[in-house]
Amino acid sequence: MKLGDLNGLVKAYREAMPYLAVGVQMAAMVVIMFLLGKWADEKFGTYPWLMLLCIFFGISAGFYHFFKQTNALAKKSNKKEDNSDEIR
């Protein structure tokens, strides 16, 4: 593999990493809230209501964070493209 190819691969990973991280964060939010709800149900004997409530909250918070991050990344990408067009 040539050095130029390696630099292109590194650049591609750097550009894709924020989008990959958003998906992982969303999945982690749901899993953590599921575990929290399951623990609360076992502690208070309310199976499955707190688990379901926490899953719903985790999904809602995950989607909120997902859309917030993707909008911020899109704005950053658009700003970068606008700056590169001005330079040319």
As for how many domains the chain has, the answer is: 1
Q: What is the pTM of this model?
A: 0.77
Residue 73 reports pLDDT greater than 70: yes
pLDDT, greater one: 23 or 54: 54
- If you write DSSP's letter for every residue of the chain in order, what string do you get? --HHHHHHHHHHHHHHHHHHHHHHHHHHHHHHHHHHHHHHHHHHT-TTHHHHHHHHHHHHHHHHHHHHHHHHHHHHHHHHHHHHHHH-
Residue 2 reports pLDDT greater than 90: no
Domain span including residue 54 = 30-70
Residue 39 lies in a domain: yes
Q: What is the share, in percent, of the chain residues with pLDDT greater than 70?
A: 90
Q: What is the pLDDT of the chain when averaged over all its residues? A: 88
- Confidence at residue 80, expressed as pLDDT on a 0 to 100 scale: 75
